Amino acid sequence: MTNEFQELRAEYNRLSQRIKSFDGIYSIQTERTDDGSPHVEFSDGQYHYIVTERGLDLSIRSTPDVREMAYWMLKDVTFWKGVAYEFANRTEDQDCRRMIFSHQLELMRRADEQFAERLESEIAETLRQNPYTDQI
């Protein structure tokens, strides 16, 4: 394991443990699975956050910054936890994003307040462009 991955794993684990503590180490995917899930690669002094599916690179973002990479990873994890939460607690006639975003922000606040502030800003921009569509 390279020093770069050790540093990223340590930061990701530290922040993830704040969301949900457990007696282990949170892992990061470092090899492509081609199933739509992201993985991390490191080359040329940059971390690369890559989403692949069926042999195609759907998304590639690169940064030299461990904190930036940790943000991207936690943003995805907390989003999908928000989706699972909304699915289990669905409120009919309400835009599902209300509950997803609320839960996502709650989890991100546990991890890192600066990350939560950034996410809140990104969500506000999403909603500016695509407002909630409640059926009430």
pLDDT digits (tens, 9 = 90+) for 75-130: 999 999 999 999 999 999 999 999 999 999 999 999 999 999 999 999 999 999 99
Containing H/E element for 54? none
β pairing state of 35-43 and 46-53: antiparallel
20-48 tens-digit pLDDT: 998 989 999 999 999 999 999 999 999 99
Query: Vertex 81, ends 76 and 84: CA angle to 5°?
Result: 130
Structure tokens of 75? 């943003």
Name which of 13, 57, 15 is nearest 34 in CA terms: 57
